[in-house]
Amino acid sequence: MNLHRVLLAVVLSGIVAVSEAAVPPVLVIHGGAGVIKRDLTPTKEKAIRAALTQALEAGYARLKAGKSAVGAVSAAIVVLEDDPNFNAGKGAVFTHDGKNELDAAIMDGERRRAGAVAGVQHIKNPILLARAVMDKTPYVMLAGSGAEDFARSIGMPLVDAAYFRTDARWQQLQKARKEDASGKLHADEGTAKHFGTVGAVALDVHGHLAAGTSTGGMTDKRWGRIGDSPIIGAGTYANSDCAVSATGWGEFYIRTVAAHAICMRVSQMRIPIQRAAAVVVNQEIPALGGNGGAIALDAHGNIAIPFNTDGMYRGWIDASGVPHVAIYGDEDDSTAEPPAPAASVH
């Protein structure tokens, strides 16, 4: 009898292991919405596509190795933070006062743990500090000098502010300052001031989801402005059913609690993720005057990549294991089901 019980336990444990390993991992990333084709030279476009591919490979390698969705999201975002072509980490945009103030957040959908940092100026990879806030403190968000004090306390090295500077971002600030002086502040809702955030969402082999977002915020921002990226539920959110990272004009994502709104449609209303994301990104936010995009992923590996701008830097590896990268609106997001027409969405 005891032998039979032992054999049964071995068989059952094997079934559980196979079941967990049977979940195909999925990773989706973005490097910001608001892409304007005329602003991209062939050389820069090639570099951006290469960086997106590298980020996918870094995150997906961890998923294939059985690591957590949180680890995959962190790894992918670090690659984008380190690339000066994106508005996160090195290459972040400047504030009105000529500083770089960085925000980031990460969320573990399995346990709904989250960590975020806002307004840091000396953290090379803000997503890693956000993860440390989640893993090593009882808090969700730390800001400014306090967040940097925490970084020092855990041995995370700080970098000189000059590390983040790029000439391209400095010139963007000068242009924005001239617009401010001429009274054109926020006159163009399509301006690149509001875009450039990076993010990732992942589904690991255990069926767990995670989301993360990192940004330099808005060009020419003032008075310690913080956008949606580090705000859990606005620009970043994950639970057991859904994970979202947003990009766009942050004030509107905060006002619609966009990431949470998408996931609640999936979790509570059982609306397919493609439709849920499209309603929020392409209807609710534009109705208030905002724009942008998002990446969303559900527990079944279904992907949504809605955006209402000319383009959005994006990439994904679905259950097929094949990496895809896209920039412009007319490129095929073949894994994302087209959203339902506006008239049929409730």
7 lies in a domain? no
Contact between 194 and 293 under an 8 Å Cβ cutoff? The reply is no
4 lies in a domain? no
268 lies in a domain? yes
- The question of whether 197 is a catalytic residue gets the answer yes
Q: What is the pLDDT of residue 107?
A: 98
3 lies in a domain? no
Select which of 95, 197, 236, 335 is catalytic: 197
9 lies in a domain? no
Domain around 339: 20-344
Contact between 338 and 274 under an 8 Å Cβ cutoff? The reply is yes
6 lies in a domain? no
Q: What is the pLDDT of residue 345?
A: 34
Q: Which residue shows structure tokens 């690591």? A: 67
Provide the CATH number for the domain around residue 34: 3.60.20.30
Q: Return the beta strands (E) in 9-71 as ranges.
A: 26-33
263 lies in a domain? yes
The reported pTM is 0.88
Give the mean pLDDT per block of 10 residues along the chain (346 residues). Answer: 49 44 89 83 94 98 98 98 96 94 98 98 98 98 98 97 93 86 50 74 98 96 95 98 97 98 97 98 97 97 96 96 94 52 35
Q: What is the pLDDT of residue 1?
A: 45
Tokens of 289: 């005057």
150 lies in a domain? yes
Q: What is the pLDDT of residue 178?
A: 86
Q: What are phi and psi of 248, to 5 degrees?
A: 150, -155
Q: What is the pLDDT of residue 190?
A: 39
State the total domains in the chain: 1
